[in-house]
């Protein structure tokens, strides 16, 4: 009996291939180029430096963050009818490639426009608002707005109008793809003027 059992085990081992985990494909910026040309460039420009405040700057953004946003648009977790259509045909590998492509592009510098708002925005960005329980933006996005790869996005040089729109969307619960509701909680504690101030200050970071 033991001999038969051992024989069966030996036969199975010889005829059943072992499952080998395949390593995840690396992101390839070159593979993203055709998609950028056909799909992304019209709104974000071929180098990710959008010319319109309605469309975010993607140049220099962390690859993982961009890929996550694309996945969230495709799943509907992040609501946007235009981006839902744009991401419909993208595969997870396409999203990784696009993230790597835009991360490799050099962002253009921008300047804040409203000096008065910049002063308030600097205070909030660097020191938060203690009596409202608002932490300093710099604690997550860094003093220069560079962010932290795979954790917090780059915000430096982003259009003030775009940043303002996103903070308002978080506050209203229209955007809900922030980890642990972090941005929804923070934006809910900011006044309209404080949101404008932070957005204005971020635009001038570099």
What is the C-alpha separation between 138 and 124, in angstroms, rounded?
Answer: 9
pLDDT at 23: 67
Query: And the tokens for 19?
Result: 């499952």
pLDDT at residue 37, as a whole number: 98
Query: pLDDT averaged over the chain?
Result: 91
Together in a domain, 45 and 92: yes
In the structure encoding, which two tokens stand for residue 49, read together? 């430096």
Residue 19 located in a structural domain? no
Domain count, the chain: 2
Residue 89 lies in a domain: yes
Which pLDDT score is estimated for 21? 54
> Do 191 and 119 have their domain in common?
yes
**Can you give the residue range of the structural domain that contains 124?**
115-203
Q: What per-residue confidence (pLDDT) applies to 61?
A: 98
As a whole number of angstroms, the distance between CA 133 and CA 122 comes to 17
Q: So what's the pLDDT on residue 71?
A: 98
pLDDT at 136: 98
For residue 46, the domain's CATH number is 1.10.760.10
Structure tokens at 186: 């923070």
Contact 66, 99 (CB under 8 A): yes
Q: What is the pLDDT along the chain (206 residues), one digit of tens a residue?
A: 444 444 333 434 444 444 455 667 899 999 999 999 999 999 999 999 999 999 999 999 999 999 999 999 999 999 999 999 999 999 999 999 999 999 999 999 988 889 999 999 999 999 999 999 999 999 999 999 999 998 999 999 999 999 999 999 999 999 999 999 999 999 999 999 999 999 999 999 99
Both tokens of 204, joined, read: 């001038």
d(CA 95, CA 170): 24
């Amino acid at each position: 009996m033991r001999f038969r059992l051992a024989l069966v085990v030996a036969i199975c081992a010889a005829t059943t291939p072992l499952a080998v985990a395949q390593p995840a494909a690396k992101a390839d910026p070159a593979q993203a180029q055709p998609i950028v040309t056909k799909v992304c460039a019209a709104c974000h420009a071929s180098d990710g430096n959008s010319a319109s405040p309605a469309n975010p700057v993607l140049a220099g953004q962390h690859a993982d963050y961009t890929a996550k946003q694309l996945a969230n648009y495709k799943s509907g977790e992040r609501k946007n009818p235009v981006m839902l259509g744009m991401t419909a045909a993208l595969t997870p590998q396409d999203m990784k490639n696009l993230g790597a492509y835009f991360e490799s592009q050099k962002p253009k510098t921008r300047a804040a426009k409203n000096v008065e708002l910049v002063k308030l925005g600097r205070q909030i960005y660097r020191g938060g608002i203690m009596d409202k329980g608002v932490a300093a933006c710099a604690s997550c996005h860094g003093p220069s707005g560079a962010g932290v790869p795979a954790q917090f996005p780059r915000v430096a040089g982003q259009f003030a109008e775009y940043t303002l729109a996103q903070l308002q969307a978080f506050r209203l619960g229209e955007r809900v793809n922030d980890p642990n509701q972090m941005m929804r909680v923070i934006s809910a504690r900011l006044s309209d003027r404080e949101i404008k101030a932070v957005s204005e200050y971020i635009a001038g970071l570099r």
